A and B are shown apart, each in its own frame.
Chain A
Amino acid sequence: MSEHIQAALERPSLIAFVVLFLCGFFVMTTNSNMIKKLIGIYLLQTSVLLLLVTIGVKQNAASVPILTEKHIESPETIAPAAYVNPLPHVLTLTAIVVQVATLGVSLALVAAIYRKYGSLDENEVLQRIE
């Protein structure tokens, strides 16, 4: 188990994923302001997308997944080790756009709650409901 963790620690992006995940989780669960919770959810989502992109990186300086002209002329000579894995990028693109759509809906919900109860703090809103 420890050599797995040591191999994971060699790549700085994986440490960044763990730290940002913990930051987002902390903000989301311990703040009582609703918009601060949404900021925490945003941090959480972007950290998971960082993990998705990192597991597609190849080791010896592979290039961007856009085919160069040399490989367009002769498609048989494409070596998959020379290009970064394109599949996590596809999933990440979908996830980013869905993230902003759900952010819009949650902000609309917070705005509607503020209009009705007059406060952004969830403890005060719970008191005013009763």
Chain B
Amino acid sequence: MMDWFEIALVILLITTAVGVIRVKTLISAVLILACYSFLMAVVWAQLGAVDVAFVEAVVGAGLSTVLFLLTLFRARAKDTQLRRTPTPLVALLGLPLLGFVLLYAIAPLYPDGQDGQPLRPASTHVADAYLQESYKATKTPNVVTAVLMDYRAFDTLIETGVIFTAGIACALLLRSHSE
């Protein structure tokens, strides 16, 4: 009966996110964001996505915190104190409306059929074929790696190109060539 565990994790996650919003200095917000990333990795591991939890714990809680802190260390101290501006009325009225629209929009993605499985659009066409055929075709027990690097190798190729472009863009923006 793992439901109580999932409910407790979700409550912790929402509390941490509200803490990120309400805290007054930027460095505290960044460190609470690292804690939020770790909690998100635990939620993903509990939902059965171990590869995703691994990568999020390394990338989200490790590398993005380092990037935020490196940018914050250049700013003077007075720029990182946040002023509490009054929330506009449009936000207070419009956000619950947006929440209802989101709930209505995602409901068909997760229908509860008689036995649940065949109605879900994400599981109907190709995912069962990946689970059944991938060991015969590629001899790798980890199905996620086999799908990522063999069946969907073009996505990974273009994503590697995106990472390369991001590194070049940072170098162009910040390094001066006065040597």
In the complex, A touching B, CB below 8 Å? yes
Q: Is the CB of A25 within 8 A of B95?
A: yes
Q: Is the CB of A56 within 8 A of B107?
A: no
Most A CB within 10 A of own CB, among B3, B10, B26: B10
A110 to chain B: which residues have CB within 8 Å?
71
Q: CA of A103 to CA of B32 in the docked complex: distance in angstroms?
A: 17
Q: Is the CB of B67 within 8 A of A78?
A: no
Q: CA of A84 to CA of B144 in the docked complex: distance in angstroms?
A: 10
Q: Is the CB of B6 within 8 A of A13?
A: yes
Most A CB within 10 A of own CB, among B21, B50, B128: B21
Q: CA of A48 to CA of B124 in the docked complex: distance in angstroms?
A: 21
Distance (Å) between the CB of B55 and the closest chain A CB?
5
* Interface residue total, chain A, C-beta cutoff 8 A: 90
Q: CA of A111 to CA of B39 in the docked complex: distance in angstroms?
A: 29
Most A CB within 10 A of own CB, among B18, B111, B112, B126: B112
Which one of A26, A78, A85, A107 contacts B122 once the chains associate, using CB atoms below 8 Å? A85
B178 to chain A: which residues have CB within 8 Å?
none
B79 to chain A: which residues have CB within 8 Å?
114, 119-121
Which one of A4, A10, A19, A31 contacts B14 once the chains associate, using CB atoms below 8 Å? A19
A5 to chain B: which residues have CB within 8 Å?
103-104, 107
Main secondary structure of the interface of A (DSSP, over half): helix
Q: CA of A16 to CA of B163 in the docked complex: distance in angstroms?
A: 29
B35 to chain A: which residues have CB within 8 Å?
none
User: Given contacts A13-B10, A39-B20, A97-B163, are A46 and B98 in contact (CB under 8 A)?
Assistant: no
B143 to chain A: which residues have CB within 8 Å?
65-67, 83, 86
A97 to chain B: which residues have CB within 8 Å?
55, 59, 159, 163
Q: CA of A88 to CA of B2 in the docked complex: distance in angstroms?
A: 22
Q: CA of A9 to CA of B106 in the docked complex: distance in angstroms?
A: 11
Q: CA of A80 to CA of B91 in the docked complex: distance in angstroms?
A: 44
User: Given contacts A12-B6, A26-B21, A84-B48, are A100 and B80 in contact (CB under 8 A)?
Assistant: no
* A11 part of interface (Cβ distance < 8 Å): yes
Q: CA of A33 to CA of B127 in the docked complex: distance in angstroms?
A: 43
Return the CB mask of B132-163 against A: 1 if under 8 Å, else 0: 10011000011110011000100110010011
Listed by A's residue number, 23 A-B pairs whose Cβ atoms lie within 8 Å are A7-B111, A8-B106, A11-B110, A13-B6, A21-B102, A25-B95, A35-B72, A39-B20, A39-B29, A46-B56, A50-B44, A54-B47, A55-B109, A56-B127, A66-B143, A85-B123, A88-B122, A90-B148, A98-B163, A100-B59, A101-B166, A103-B67, A107-B70
Q: Closest 8 CB pairs between A and B?
A: A4-B107, A101-B166, A80-B128, A84-B48, A59-B116, A108-B170, A108-B173, A12-B10
